[in-house]
Structure 1
Amino acid sequence: MLGRIAIRKVAVGSAPRVMAGATLGEATRAIRCSTDRDRVADLAVDTLERFAPACEAAILLVVRGATAIGWKGFQRAGGGLPEIAVPMDDAGLVPRAVELNVSLRRPSTELDPIDRLLLASLGRSDGDLVIVPIAIADQVMCVIAIATADDAPVACAESIAAAAGAAFARLMRDASR
């Protein structure tokens, strides 16, 4: 007892899901309206997990200089994702997607060594690696790396990335005021 308030032990489980919105449109709206960058990333990852069932694993990579560093992600098979850093000065899908500001996709049989390592870090040795850029004012700041089965649809990833880019741009504008 502390004063007149009974204090009990509370079991704390894993972090609750950050779900927002019952539809893809509602979820992307929630991403765009998020109040901080961690919430944007959490909602983007959660939205991918919920609305892209073919997406077996995904990670947001933040582009910082000559490296893209893993930030948040998920793996449907369970377990966490390892810490990931992708060099931006080597060949590969991540540097190309950042340079061209377009989504890129390749099957595992056509991947460069660094891309094969990224796919393996996402828990797959086969299937496709998809890289979707998140741009702010036409400059790519982050990418979403996605592992899927061969030719599996992940069309909603681009709308999720666009919502995240809009949210990050708004947060940067708000911070500069």
Structure 2
Amino acid sequence: MIRVLDIVFATLGLLFGLPFLVVIYVIGLFDTGSPLFRQERVGRYGKPFILVKFRTMAPDTQSVASHLADSSSITPVGSFLRRTKLDELPQLWNVLKGEMSLVGPRPCLFNQADLIQERNSRGVLEARPGITGLAQVNGIDMSTPQLLAETDAAMLRSLGLKHYLSYILQTVRGKGAGDRVRSED
């Protein structure tokens, strides 16, 4: 049932969101010259996939988890996209392809060994990664691997239609702070 809802919501989101996607893309051309960001992430069963987002940081920013990136690398447009979570819209394509779900554990980078180990020990990697979930709406990010993995596992144990819809609605309403980024020194 959840996979069917993923397909329906992602399709509708891409169709109705197309004008916003085009506008954000064009603005991104002026902001960074390269509006789409593609990055290899850890997918279901630990397999790699290419996540697509709108770029929020300068193109030459080191490929690290957000909490390890410097806030000075975030562009003004990127700051707005992160705050409104509009940078996540292209991931609807990942959902349609079956690489992600709307709700699930946020996909991490392969260099986040602590988080991968924590998630693997709790069976979290057996699920499709998601755009949002329990950790995201509660402001828990990848800077606390054990807490994040525990929260992801708890979410997956209780994930049904009610919670699935609840996490999506909470995200749309702006709950959750998004990934932390290091402050400038």
Return the TM-score normalized by structure 1. Answer: 0.30
Greater Rg by CA: 1
Instruction: Compare the two structures and name the one with the higher strand fraction.
Output: 1
